Amino acid sequence: MDSLTQFALGAVVGEVVLGRKLGWKGALLGGIAGTIPDLDVLLNNFYDPISRMKIHRGFSHSIFFAIIFGPLFGWISFKISQKVSFGKWTLMWFLGFLTHTLLDCCTTYGTQLFNPISDRLIAFDNIFVVDPLYTIPLLGGVVVALFYKKDSKKRRRANYIGIAISSMYMLWTFIALNHATKQFEKSLTKQNIEYSDLQVSPTVMNSFLWEGIAQTEKDAYFGTYSVFDNRKVVEFQKEARNTNLIKPYFNSKAVQTGLWFSTGYYIVREIGDKLYFYTTKFGPMKLDGQLKFYFPLIISPDEYGDSRFFFKEEAPEGEEMKKGLSQMWERIWGI
C-alpha cells in the first residue's frame, strides 16, 4: 500500500512491542521498520524499466526477508540499546517487515511473498493501494497514544482502538469482495457469458464499488458492481484480447515480464504499426462508453524486422481524471 499507511502500521507495531520501554521512539522505529521493504525502489536506477517490474515487491517483500533481517536488525538494535531485550527488538523488526508484506498482498499489484523460491505474485484483491478508511484509524490511534505517558493504560487503549477499527474495516473488505464476486458470477451466468477466469477488485480509494474482469482466451468482459446497486444484473462491456498478436514476440524478455506482471489479465491493441500490451488487472477507466487503459508495453517493429520494447508511463490527468472520478463517484452510489 502507500507509504503513509505502511509507516502507520509499522508505528502501531512498534508501539505495541516497544512503547512501554521506549515511548514515542518505539512508534518511530516501528514506522521505519514498516517503510524499509519499500526502499527497493532505490534500486530502480540500476535497472531498465522492464527489469524494474520484478524488483519492486521482490525479495524485500518476502517472508524470508522478515525471517532473515528481523533477527539481524534485532541484534544490531540490541547492541546499540539494551533497554529492550534482544527478543523484543527482533519481534518488532520482524513484525514491521512482515506486516508490510502481508498488507501489500491485500492489493491487486501483487507481492512476491515467497521470493527467492518463487516469483509468483500473491494478490488478495480486497483493498485498493490507497484507502483512507483503513489508514485513518491506524494513524489516529497511534498519534493519540503518543499524547499519553508510556506506561499509561489510556495510551495502550488508544492504540488498540485504532488497531481494532482498522482491522474491522479490513475484514469488511474481504466480506465485500466475496459478496461482489458472487454478484459478478450470477450476472455472468444469467447473461450466458462463458469465462475461464474472473478477477474482482476494488476501485480507487474505496471498498464499495468493485470491478469485475471475466475473460476467455479471445475476449474480456469488464463490469462494475456497487454494494449500493439497485441493478439486478451487472452490465459488461466486451473487448477483444487479441492475444495472437503477441505470439511472434512471446519469448522476448519484455513480453514475458508483461505476462508475468499481468498474471494473465491483459489485452493487446494494434495502433498504427505498433502493438500496445495493456495489463488489465487494475481495470479500465470508462469515458463516454469507451474503455481506456494505461501504462502499456509498446512493441515497435522497425523496417529491418527487429523490435523495440518500452513502457509508456501514461496515466489519466486533468479533465480526463476529473471526469473518470466523477463517473466512479456516481457508480459507487448505484447510479
pLDDT tens track, the chain, 335 positions:
999 999 999 999 999 999 999 999 999 999 999 999 999 999 888 888 888 889 999 999 999 999 999 999 999 999 999 999 999 999 999 999 999 999 999 999 999 999 999 999 999 999 999 999 999 999 999 999 999 999 999 999 999 999 999 999 999 999 999 999 999 999 999 999 999 999 999 999 999 999 999 999 999 999 999 999 988 899 999 999 999 999 999 999 999 999 999 999 999 999 998 999 999 999 998 877 789 998 899 999 765 456 788 888 777 778 888 888 898 999 999 88
d(CA 182, CA 159): 35
Domain contains 178: no
* Total number of domains in the chain: 2
DSSP string, 103-145: HHHTSSS-B-TTTTT--PPB----S-S--HHHHHHHHHHHHHH
- The residue segments making up the domain with residue 292 are 191-332
With respect to residue 183, please indicate whether it lies within any of the assigned structural domains: no
Q: How far are the Cα atoms of 25, 59, 159, 173 from residue 101, in angstroms, in the given order?
A: 23, 10, 21, 18
Helix ranges restricted to H, the chain: 3-22, 24-35, 49-55, 63-80, 86-105, 132-145, 153-190, 253-262, 318-332
Check whether residue 221 and residue 166 sit in a common domain. Answer: no
Query: pTM (2 decimals)?
Result: 0.94
Q: Do 65 and 149 fall into the same domain?
A: yes
Same structural domain, 11 and 145? yes
107 plus 239 within the same structural domain = no
- Whether residue 182 lies inside any domain: the answer is no
